[in-house]
Amino acid sequence: MSKILIAYYSRRGENYVNGSIRQLAVGNTEVVVQKIKARIPDADVFQIDTVKKYSDSYMTCIEEAKQELREQTRPEMSHPLSSIDAYDTIILGYPNWWGTMPMVCYTFLESFSFRGKTIVPFCTNEGSGLGSSVRFIRKLCPDATVLDGVAIHGAEASSADAEAAEIANLALGK
């Protein structure tokens, strides 16, 4: 049986949580990834990260991210994967940034052919749900089966057990 890959981007540090700025020791998306991994112990986990780090300051980071979106930047990944050939199913987790994925997720999706693969998107957010992200994933991966995706309120990531189970079951085809 082919393996499942859990690929995700998540940013630790200052973030906007339920109306105020808080310091997150572990990013919300990463918290959910840990819950999914607990349900699919055989899955490989790959953290999508950037060479150029975003500001620790939430306010500065949102401006950096806005500019990247406006300019359609493709930030360089810090530890690119060599191949996704071993995987039929990829769970892709990310925070909602300005209504879509962080731009490095675009870099990731453009790095491989996803032909014949199934992508299970999930996103943590502070109210905008999945935004336009799934539409963009479908555009970037026209030959993949892209599921509708699961949205999770970032502030409730630590209690998102039902959502993590839903994502794991989707990936396992249950």
Ligand X SMILES: Cc1cc2nc3c(=O)[nH]c(=O)nc-3n(C[C@H](O)[C@H](O)[C@H](O)COP(=O)(O)O)c2cc1C
Residue numbers at the binding site for ligand X (CB under 6 A): 10-11, 15-16, 24, 27-30, 58, 61-62, 65, 95-99, 124-128, 154
Closest residue to ligand X: CB criterion: 154
- Cβ proximity to ligand X: between 34 and 111 the closer is 34
Residue among 121, 114, 54 at smallest CA distance from 88: 114
- Cβ proximity to ligand X: between 104 and 117 the closer is 104
Q: Are 61 and 11 contacting, i.e. CB atoms less than 8 angstroms apart? A: yes
Give min distance, CB of 44 to ligand X, in A: 19
Q: What's the rounded Cα separation, in Å, for the pair 89 and 122?
A: 13
- Cβ proximity to ligand X: between 39 and 153 the closer is 153
- Cβ proximity to ligand X: between 65 and 117 the closer is 65
Q: What's the rounded Cα separation, in Å, for the pair 28 and 100?
A: 16
Tell me the sheet residues that pair with 123: 94, 151
DSSP 170: H
Give min distance, CB of 83 to ligand X, in A: 25
